[in-house]
Chains A and B, each alone.
Chain A
Amino acid sequence: MLKFTKDHEWLKIDGDAVTVGITAHATEQLGDLVFVDLPEVGAEFAMGDNAAVVESVKAASDVYAPVSGEILEVNQAIVDDPSIVNADPSGAGWLFKIKLKAAAETESLLDEDAYKQLIA
């Protein structure tokens, strides 16, 4: 199941494992990423906490935990080469996987149509 936040993050929800990334729209707005700071595996976040930072030449942007839970895995490849996020934001450029704590939180997320309307 693919969901989005109004803060331009995408979530691929597979049971209680949620893969999180930033949308193509977000990468277009940010421009070339030059630095990505990802959370530690095992770190716990509440929905809306700052979980990661992506930085372009121009500015730093926080990435929020779109749901509450524990970090299961992070994408080391994008730390080594942040341009992967620009090249493939919804695939190889994923940021982290988080273990969904409260399934009810996903109800407030946007579906693809609602997100497309948001950025239209």
Chain B
Amino acid sequence: MSDNTAGAASVPLSKTALSDLHVVRGGRMVGFAGYEMPVQFPPGILKEHQHTRSAAGLFDVSHMGQLAITSSTGNMSDAALALEALLPTDLKSLPEGRQRYTFFTNEAGGILDDLMIANLGGRFLLVVNAATKDSDEQHLRANLPDTVRIERLDRALIALQGPKAADALSKLAPQCTGMRFMDVRPLEVCGVPCTASRSGYTGEDGFEISIPQDAAITIAEALLADADVEPIGLGARDSLRLEAGLCLYGSDIDTGTTPVEAGLKWAMPRSRRDGGERAGGFPGDAVILRQLREGSDRSRVGLLPEGRAPVRAGAQLYQEESGGTPAGYVTSGGFGPTLGRPVAMGYVPTSLATPGTRFFADVRGKRLPVDVAKLPFNTPDYKRT
């Protein structure tokens, strides 16, 4: 049997504040973006996935980057405008205590990274991907004026996700129940000052909590003491976000895909589009604004394989059952435990992006039927009101 599961670790891996806790709880540790992270715990990916959908899962996402942005002028709108030169979002209108999903773009309109940005009053908090956090920080330092200060925060980050997440967190931090989806605020958890947002990467209600390193174990243990809360590994994190139709940077989006192609138009507010108050003025604006007007040649779509075989990232998509040339390709794919069937995402020509359109995915030399499907596969249950 081929051994695809072993992670090749040539450089020493960094540990998070929760590494020991993962090992004690039987986490199988693998290298991921330079960190030793649990890919799964003893129940296994299927059960961890289902537990998150039915109760609450605790995810260590401390490998992600946390950056604080402040303005030495004391005026946060200076920092907001400076950041808007790198991000096609609206920070001037982002109220204190709210966050938005956005992305760094490059001159070609491609995506350098996707991120959450929160307005915490005197500062913006950016949460960026682990594999890109160094290049993101360099990008900010190279492109923001000297009056904007950038600070890498050395803090742990825990995501608590699932229908029981609010119940579990409210026992340690009663104030959390007043938050709605995409709210961000300082929150005392077990008496420790943290910053929490009501958001996540699973398609479930939940929270992401930025915690001082030395309190991470205590808070994680306190959350895990709740019978509804189980630790969840990266494997289930991936299957959960795939069912929720959420992009994985480096797979579904990268420097070669634009936000319009990726179906992320919703994240670009009117004020930065044609006719808006601050239209354009971000890297790649010519390409992105044109695609917003005219559409893009290709689009990211959901894909449902007809059979039981998972169709995974890299598979080519054909219109023909045999012969022909690839019309598209799969960027994420696997088994969707909630749906009980394989699910995938990929890029196809926009003219063929209508749900129900049939393609054939090349899997080990066989052409397997897959149909374009609406995203998300699993309807999210966010706490919007």
Contact = CB atoms under 8 A, between A and B. Distances in A.
A55 interface: yes
Contacts of B97: none
B2 A31 contact: no
A37 B1 contact: no
Contacts of B364: 37, 53
A60 B337 CA distance: 16
A60 B364 CA distance: 11
A57 B4 contact: no
Interface of B: 1-6, 39-40, 44-47, 49, 235-236, 238-239, 308-310, 312, 334-335, 337, 342, 364
Contact of B310 (A9, A26, A34): A34
Interface stretch (A11-19, A61-69, A97-105): A61-69
A58 B1 contact: no
Interface string A44-62: 0000000001111111111
A31 B40 CA distance: 9
Given A31-B45, A35-B309, A57 B239 contact: yes
A57 B1 contact: no
B309 A58 contact: no
Nearest to B47: A32
B2 A58 contact: no
A78 interface: no
Main secondary structure of the interface of A (DSSP, over half): strand
A31 B238 CA distance: 15
A29 interface: yes
A53 B1 CA distance: 9
A30 interface: yes
Contacts of A71: none
Given A35-B310, A57-B337, A9 B1 contact: yes
A35 B307 CA distance: 10
Contact of A56 (B3, B6, B45): B45
A52 B210 CA distance: 45
Contacts of A58: 5, 39, 45, 235, 238, 334
A34 B235 CA distance: 14
B3 A60 contact: no
Contacts of B308: 34-35
A19 B1 CA distance: 15
B1 A59 contact: no
Contact of B1 (A7, A34, A35): A7
Nearest to B238: A58
Contact of A61 (B1, B46, B49, B335): B1
Contacts of B334: 57-58
Nearest to A53: B364
Contacts of A53: 364
Nearest to A66: B1
Given A31-B40, A32-B46, A57 B335 contact: yes
